[in-house]
Structure 1
Amino acid sequence: MLDIADELNRWVEEGRDFAVATVVSVGGSAPRGPGAALAVDSHGTAIGSVSGGCVEGAVYDLCVQALQDGTTVLERFGYSDEDAFAVGLTCGGVIEVLVTPVCTDDSTRTDDSTRTDEPVRADALVRADDSVGADAPVFAAWLSAAARGEAVALARVARGPVGLRGSALLVHTDGSYEGGLDAHPELDRTAAAEARAMLDAGRTGTVEISEDGARCPGGVTLFVESSVPPPRMIVFGAVDFAAALVRAGKFLGHHVTVCDARPVFATGARFPEADEVVVDWPHRYLRGTGTDHRTVLCVLTHDAKFDVPLLETALRLPVAYVGAMGSRRTHEDRNRRLREVGVTEGELARLRSPIGLDIGARTPEETALSIAAEIVAARRGGSGVPLTGSRTPIHHDRVTVLATAAG
């Protein structure tokens, strides 16, 4: 849902009622992963996508129905061998979609006679007695925090007792939470603890707990959606290739920093799309700035006086990706220098150099595409080989990178 959080936040601010359908689990070659969402407001306006087109119409109808009767539902879509034209995923995958109404005015109710096939009106909303829609204040708080880029998690009941389905908790990094799932406080505490653990890891997915709040699986399935600040990309070297890589990094959703020790080159005017431009020695900046397991480091200087101290530091950090530009001859010379300053073979094995995938890139834009493709492959576990004629999976389950701190 994070890809439509800004628009949903605007809908909340405008007082619109809406229903949101969120992918909570996938199997096989599903087109989109957990967290993908489609929302429909009370005027019939739709935003987002859960499948890239396969089941959008059916999910739209579920959202309209949810707005009409206030019921949260969990629906499963797969492929039908008996009828290839039936509603389902032609790719052969399976997805489960949680459809939740978010009603800003809970006092507005009607009976079932108001249901029509037309886009539902705000004055035609009903909250069924045996079901539950989202807690609007909790949902609104999560959307607002996500739109601001804060680290929070929304935990919703996807499976469980009917009266519990769709209820939600907003969980913060310190373990505090807003909202509630049930009158049983232990259930809330357990759900908050599980959601916080997923938030700490930046994960979105499901977790099983018991109705009484025990951590063992049974009775309740929570769907936890983590909103975390965008991952960092730090580009070292204010060169022509860096400008193109900044654009690619922003396209991939990174917070992009350009760092160079030369003030004449490291300017905001040269890199207007960067989130920040820093004038400092690269290794000194890297030692003092914040990084995590999602951070991407791209070294484009191919100058030993910058590269060696920078890579000596970078290869010992638990970051997602370390790549360095340069010819194969430059790469061999750089490795020799790094060994001389004590970088181990295990640490050197983490270095991706020459940087990028082999796509025959020549221009800065093509080179940036090559680097971006390698970053995505490293994050998702892709092989980088053409899909045509290969037997590699189209979609990969891995969402975390292999790189870990060496040494």
Structure 2
Amino acid sequence: MKSYGELRELARAWRVLGETPGARAALVTILRTSGSTFRRVGAAMLVRADGSVVNPLAGGCPQREIVERSLMVMSEGRIAYVAYNAEQGLDLLMEAGCGGELEVAIEPIHGELPAFLGDLDAMLASNDAFRIVTSFPAPDARSPATRSLMRVEGGDGEGVTRDKAMSEPWEGGFRLFETFDAPVSLIVAGASHEARELAYLASRMGWRGVVVDTSVERLEHMNLDAPGWHAVEVRPERLAHTLRVHASTAVVSMTHNLELDIAYLRAGQACSAFYLGTLGSQQRARTIAHAVPSPTLHVPAGLDIGSNTSREIALSVVAEIMAARHARDGRALSRSGGPIH
């Protein structure tokens, strides 16, 4: 499954190719997996003519061999399906430390930009859940894969879609269905160095968001430079009137003011934010928990990874938000005893 960040990177690289005369590339998409593989159905990698890649599939797949196959597909100009299983390519999977099996589609990319990219940009800029349907042609066809995109109604509700991908045989090729839940929207209250680090790391995850504060001066002094983020002066009681807060929103308050933290968290609670978090000692945590009784409240916010610096705290908080988003408890994978995807 592709993440929002990967979708944006792929779209950006595809657009650059379309604006470069004579440029060629191939898009590699995982269609089927079985057993232990590093990535799952829907994960994709773009391979350029010079062998460089965007969004490497990494770890559990024979990437070097796939890149070589992709160069062949660019020359031949038609889609190829390659399986790595017990009958073929198993040694490559074992070298990669992967005991599973997978099948990929490798499609040539060249020529004019598809209209799909414009639709994707518009959807990524929204807060809506959406579905991408990709129809891959039969291996002997020279026709390109086609993609369509549609909104998923009610997809910003908790657990309405849950990110997922599946493929099925279709007219000699495959049809891939990818459903993306509404993206995480993060509101960080309190203009501070900690908030700036949190915003920057969240933006790297592909999350959009906003830093709010009751002071324009503090917001300007913070010098927020996280891509896709902005700063807004808004008091807690005006939060829902100024910003779109919904069930895909996480609210983290770090104003270092007890009353303000409680007020911002209550505003998020009233709007059904899926995650509420704030920093502080255990004593402060008890006071806040009493004032904001909610199962989505995390105080002190973050996973216990020994965080000390502002950047480490941001990592801890982002990890906990991600765990909450996927209904995981954040335990070590070595102790999970179950599937990791």
- For the residue of structure 1 that corresponds to 2:134, the secondary structure is strand
1:336 maps to 2:267: no
Letter in 1 for 2:304: D
User: After the TM superposition, which of the residue ranges 315-324 and 369-378 deviates more from structure 2?
Assistant: 315-324
In structure 2, distance between residues paired with 1:5 and 1:153: 16
Q: Which runs of 5+ in 2 are unaligned?
A: 1-5, 154-159
CA contact (8 A) 1:206 1:224 kept: yes
Give 1:6's aligned residue: 12
Partner of 1:205: 165
The equivalent position to 2:77 in structure 1, one of 67, 70, 74, is: 70
Structure 2 letter corresponding to 1:75: V
Q: Match for residue 242 of structure 1?
A: 195
Q: CA deviation at 1:21?
A: 0.6
Superposed CA RMSD in Å reads 3.6
1:191 maps to which residue? none
User: Residue 58 of structure 1 is aligned with which of 59, 65, 71?
Assistant: 65
- 253 and 325 in structure 1: CA distance in 2 versus 1, 3 angstrom threshold: same
2:99 is matched with 92
Confirm or deny: 8 A CA contact 1:236 1:298 kept in the other structure: yes
Which residue pairs with 2:249 in the alignment? 295
Paired with 1:207 and 1:18, the residues of 2 have a C-alpha distance of: 23
Corresponding position: 1:252 with 2:205: yes
1:279 aligns with 2:233: yes
Partner of 2:157: none
Q: SS of the counterpart of 1:322?
A: strand
Alignment CA distance shift 1:297-1:76 (3 Å): farther
Write the distance in 2 (CA, Å) between the matches of 1:159 and 1:320. 40
Q: Which moved more, 1:158-167 or 1:322-331?
A: 158-167
Q: Structure 2 length normalisation: TM-score?
A: 0.78
Distance 1:83 1:156 in 2: 27
Matched residues in 1 for 2:283 and 2:115: separation?
A: 54
1:306 maps to 2:260:
yes
Secondary structure of 1:266 counterpart: helix
What is the distance in 2 between the residues matched to 1:59 and 1:372? 33
Contact 2:135–2:147 (Cα < 8 Å) also in 1 = no
* Range with bigger deviation, 269-278 or 91-100: 269-278
TM-superposed CA distance for 1:31, in Å, is: 1.5
Within the alignment, does 1:168 sit opposite 2:146 as a pair? yes
2:15 aligned partner, one-letter code: N
2:115 pairs, out of 134, 141, 157, with 141
| Structure 1: gaps of 5 or more residues | 105-135, 176-199, 212-218, 398-407
**Secondary structure, in 3 states, of the residue corresponding to 1:273?**
coil
The Cα of 1:330 is off from its aligned counterpart by 1.5
Change (3 A) 1:330 1:150: closer
Equivalent position amino acid for 1:156 in 2: T
Structure 2 residue matching 1:315: 3-state secondary structure = helix
Quickly say closer, same or farther: Cα 1:359–1:50, change in 2 above 3 A: closer
The alignment-based identity, stated in percent, is 22
Q: What SS does the aligned partner of 1:373 have?
A: helix
Preserved contact between residue 79 and residue 142 of structure 2 (Cα < 8 Å)? no
Q: Distance in 1 between matches of 2:309 and 2:175?
A: 47
- What does the per-residue CA deviation read over 1:132-179, in whole Å, with 9 as the maximum and x for residues that have no partner? xxxx55xx323355457446754222476965985313334499xxxx
Alignment: residue pair count: 323
Q: Please state whether the residue corresponding to 1:265 is helix, strand or coil.
A: helix
Bigger RCO of structures 1 and 2 (CA < 8 A, at least 6 apart): 2
Matched, 1:349 2:302: no
Distance 1:13 1:204, change over 3 A: farther
Give the equivalent residue in structure 2 for 1:363.
309
Deviation of the 1:323 alpha carbon: 1.2
Partners of 2:168 and 2:38 in 1: how far apart?
24
Which letter does structure 2 place at the counterpart of 1:396?
Answer: I
After superposing the two structures, state which structure 1 stretch, 148-157 or 272-281, moved more. Answer: 148-157
Aligned partners of 1:240, 1:44: CA distance in 2, in Å? 40
Q: TM-score, normalised by structure 1?
A: 0.67
Q: Indicate the larger mover: 228-237 or 240-249.
A: 228-237
1:222 equivalent among 150, 175, 197: 175
Q: Which residue of 1 aligns with 2:156?
A: none
1:30–1:92 CA contact under 8 A, matched in 2: yes
Q: Is the 8 A contact 2:42 2:176 kept in 1?
A: no
Q: CA deviation at 1:358?
A: 1.3
Q: How far apart, CA to CA, are the structure 1 residues paired with 2:330 and 2:74?
A: 44
